A = this chain, B = another copy of it.
Amino acid sequence: MRLADLTTPALLVDAGALEANLADMAAAHPGPQLRPHVKAHKTTALAARQTAHGHHGFTCATVREVEGMAAAGLGADLLLANEVLDARRLGAVVAAGARVTLAIDSPETLRAAVDGGVREVLIDVNIGLPRCGIAPEHAGALADTARAAGLSVRGVMGYEGHLQLLTDAAERARLTTECTDRLLAAHADVGGDVISGGGTGTHAHNTACTEIQAGSYALMDTAYTAAGLPFRQALTVLSTVVSTTAPAGDAPGWAVADAGLKAFGMDHGNPSVPGAAVWFCSDEHLTFAADVPPRAGDRVRVVPAHIDPTVALHERMHVVDGAGPDAEVLDTWAVDLRGW
């Protein structure tokens, strides 16, 4: 199949950029030092590529992601880096032979782990982002309670999510250390071999963690590129220009492509069209003004502002080599970890 044969909108993965990103991160954090986060791509076929680069433990954000990874034979060491109040589906994954470690941050989530049949946990520690995680000074007590309840406490996790997109790298580094100091303090009380955290934005600064939970590095987006991360933009949304309006008097012209709010995560703002100003997105439309006005039927590759919620809107991604209409589609991967 050629690029021109694809129905639009369509997720495209640039094979070369993806492999370069995977190789670069594997060089920085080889093997178990990286626990790739699958929430960024929700695609077991892509996770298999990360395995080929030496990473066999993965981070998940949902129970469905854990189930899907285990079903795909990628369940050697799955961390659900999130709290759940019902862990029975996770217990079933454990019973079927996969290794699942669950984050807990409260007596309620501890109880859910026990009741659901999960045997291994990490203590999730709040290291600065107002989200999940127990206060560092209470982490040790929760670990004690967990062990008393029969759980194996592998260590701690903490996510400095609020720092990932800081554009000042020095400031990002300084604040990352502040956060990981809190995590190390909690770890001193909790024990265990695992100190898990970090992300694409802080991976180079986070030297305290034994494993980095980066996900976005594989496919990238405009927000991480704006933050100065060195990875390549591997994912775009192929779209077709369906309408054009020529300039009239003082009014500028514009074009409309067939990818909109249902093709892009919008929390980081509009996606980008190289060589064009994006005006706005509608449900199935992107209105933009290009330096070189396109014609109806032309195809444009649109760059998402935020990769994770963008991928979650698509059923599949096409792996391509090259950009022209005759470029070959090398493979098509199901985005098979969507939903809950």
Contact = CB atoms under 8 A, between A and B. Distances in A.
A147 interface: no
A286 B244 CA distance: 39
A137 to B, nearest CB: 10
A297 interface: yes
Given A39-B284, A243-B106, A306 B261 contact: yes
Contact of A267 (B39, B258, B266, B308): B266
Contacts of A197: none
A126 interface: yes
A339 interface: yes
A208 interface: no
A166 interface: no
Contacts of A132: 242-243, 256, 285
A153 B72 CA distance: 51
Interface stretch (A13-21, A22-30, A219-227, A275-283): A275-283
Interface in A126-176: 126, 130-133, 135, 161
Rank and list the top 5 A-B pairs by shortest CB-CB distance, nearest first.
A108-B296, A83-B242, A132-B243, A266-B267, A261-B309
A82 B242 contact: yes
A8 B130 CA distance: 21
Copies of this chain in its oligomeric complex: 2
Contacts of A126: 245
Interface residues of A, number: 58
A240 interface: yes
Interface of A is mostly: loop
A85 B242 contact: yes
A9 interface: yes
A138 B155 CA distance: 69
Interface string A104-142: 011011000000000000000010001111010000000
Most buried by B among A243, A261, A308, A315: A243
A2 interface: no
B262 A309 contact: yes
B109 A296 contact: yes
A8 B284 contact: no
A126 B315 CA distance: 32
A58 interface: no
Contacts of A240: 85
Contact of A262 (B9, B82, B312): B312
Interface in A288-302: 295-297
A266 B338 CA distance: 18
